[in-house]
Amino acid sequence: MNKTIKFEDLGLKDFKETWDYQETLFKAILDTKIKNRREDAGLETDNHFLFVEHPHVYTLGKSGDLSNLLLSETQLTEKDATFYKINRGGDITYHGPGQIVGYPILDLDNFFTDIHKYLRFLEEIIILTLAEYGLKTERSPGETGVWLDVGTPFARKICAMGVRASRWVTMHGFALNVNADLGYFDNIIPCGIRGKAVTSLNNELDVDKVDEAEVKRKLLKHFSVLFEAKILT
């Protein structure tokens, strides 16, 4: 089993370009697995982990409801935002500047073959990272992602998640609000969940700006520990 993960920080990159890049990496892993099965080739499969920041974009998962986007095409253009229907699970979400998006493209055969456990691990990486900033975050029953004040009228989501998996190969991932412009969430019903607020790390810490490079280092640290992986940067 290959527990080495190739890490790339793509910086600010268009959503569609990044999605296409994910698909390329995803397909390469699948092709290796198919070759191993057909030819007993015994080839190692790669693992990748991408960090990226997207220009303003709304994405709708394959089980999502388009009515959860509250903007017309004209209004999207006015807000300098784009929209895509994509092949992950989940409903609608927003990506934009000030948000750390993480895309693990892993062959779970190298780690464990359990999608439920995989999602809980992604949540745990966020929970452990935010704990280093003094925040107590948690899971909300039946709602993937990471939240604060679950079960109260003040429940708010700080990290959204949505993944795709085929033959135990993953893509898409999580979006952690660090210095995000929360006004863009007013244009959707986030994840299709009504009556729940969205927050950002700088908001919770009551500061103008959080050091995103520091947050990334903490995320990588917890990722490598939980997955018992060696991260190649």
Q: Which residues are catalytic?
A: 191
93 is in an annotated binding site: yes
Contact 103, 25 (CB under 8 A): no
161 is in an annotated binding site: yes
Angle at 131 (CA atoms; ends 139, 100), nearest 5 degrees: 75
Residue with tokens 């709304």: 58
91 is in an annotated binding site: yes
173 is in an annotated binding site: yes
Residue with tokens 């004040």: 149
84 is in an annotated binding site: no
Residue with tokens 């989940």: 90
32 is in an annotated binding site: no
95 is in an annotated binding site: yes
Task: Enter the tokens of residue 226.
Answer: 């939980």
Nearest to 7 by CA among 224, 225, 164, 228: 224
Residue ranges at the known binding site for substrate: 88-95, 160-162, 173-175
Residues contributing to the annotated binding site? 88-95, 160-162, 173-175
